[in-house]
Amino acid sequence: MKWILHKAATRGHVQQGWLQSYHSFSFGGYYNPERMNFGVLRVLNDDTVAAGMGFGTHPHRDMEIISIPLVGNLEHKDSMGNTAVIRSGDIQVLSAGTGISHSEYNKSNEIPVKFLQIWVLPNKMGVTPRYDQLSLKVSDRYNQFQQILSPNPKDEGVWIYQNAWFHQSHLESGKELTYTLKRKKENGVYVFIIEGSVELNGQKLTKRDGLGVWDIEYLNIKGILKSELLLMEIPMK
């Protein structure tokens, strides 16, 4: 097994008035040559957007963009004519393909919105842009892995142009889970602890820590405290 640990306090940090963002990988004004990506996982931003504020219209191309709201409501508008609001328990995907513009705003004028913004490099370039979102049954992730994303449009969760699988779990203290990789030779796993504390193959992780592992067939995860985690299986090349 090979692994790389990203403690929460070592992430890049941007504070610009209405936006507070922590970057697990190089992004915008934060550059770290040792943190450019983990396989095809290019961006993992932990964003907090002030009430009534947000990202104005901006373009993307040839990237799979996934948003996972943690607190509050995030409004999305794009050049395809989509207008939607995503909430805690939802997942949103945008396949930028040949090019798309969109904006993201905090729908509330009273409370901040917190969400994870994730970029994955696609395995197919120049596709027709597409948008999708899905409301998930949060109870299906208690002490088990709930699949929220895959490469298959007919599978559970949303889908993207990449051989990647995302799962979320709410794990009670003392509970243990084993995750078996879908593609053992090609893929690795990046685990991000949203809340709580877990032990992963002997390594203790706490809130907002990230651990990337590869050259493995499975992972053992044990809850130390009541925890919430995001597990992303992605190609390493």
**CATH level 3 topology of 12-136:** Jelly Rolls (2.60.120)
pLDDT digits (tens, 9 = 90+) for 25-43: 999 999 999 999 999 999 9
Checking if the pLDDT of 168 tops 90, the result is yes
pLDDT averaged over every residue in the chain: 96
Separation in Å, CA 167 to CA 61, 187, 208: 25, 15, 16
What proportion of the chain, given as a percentage, has pLDDT over 70? Answer: 100
pLDDT at 201: 87
Tens of pLDDT, residues 43-60: 999 999 999 999 999 999
DSSP code for 9: G
pLDDT of residue 88: 94
pLDDT of residue 202: 87
Residue 181 in this model has a pLDDT that exceeds 90: yes
How much of the chain, in percent, has pLDDT values that exceed 90? 98
pLDDT of residue 131: 96
Residue 154: CB atoms within 10 A of its CB come to 6
Whole-angstrom distance, CA of residue 207 vs CA of residue 195 = 5
Pick the CATH number of 139-235 from 2.170.190.11, 3.50.50.60, 3.20.20.70, 2.60.120.10: 2.60.120.10
Annotated domain spans of the chain: 12-136, 139-235
At 179 the pLDDT is: 98
| The pLDDT of residue 221 | 97
pTM metric for this prediction:
0.97
Q: Does 225 have pLDDT greater than 90?
A: yes
How far is 77 from 61, CA to CA, in rounded Å? 16
Instruction: Residue 195: name the closest of 90, 88, 53, 49 by CA.
Output: 88
Nearest Cα residue to 195 out of 172, 178, 174: 172
Contacts of 194 (CB under 8 A, 6+ apart): 70, 116, 207, 208, 227, 228, 229, 230
What confidence tier does 122 reach under pLDDT thresholds 50, 70, 90?
A: very high
CA distance 72 to 48: 10
- pLDDT confidence of 158, banded at 50, 70, 90? very high
pLDDT of res. 159: 98
* Model pLDDT for residues 191-215, shown as the tens digit of each residue: 999 999 999 988 999 999 999 999 9
Q: pLDDT tier at 118 (50, 70, 90 boundaries)? A: very high
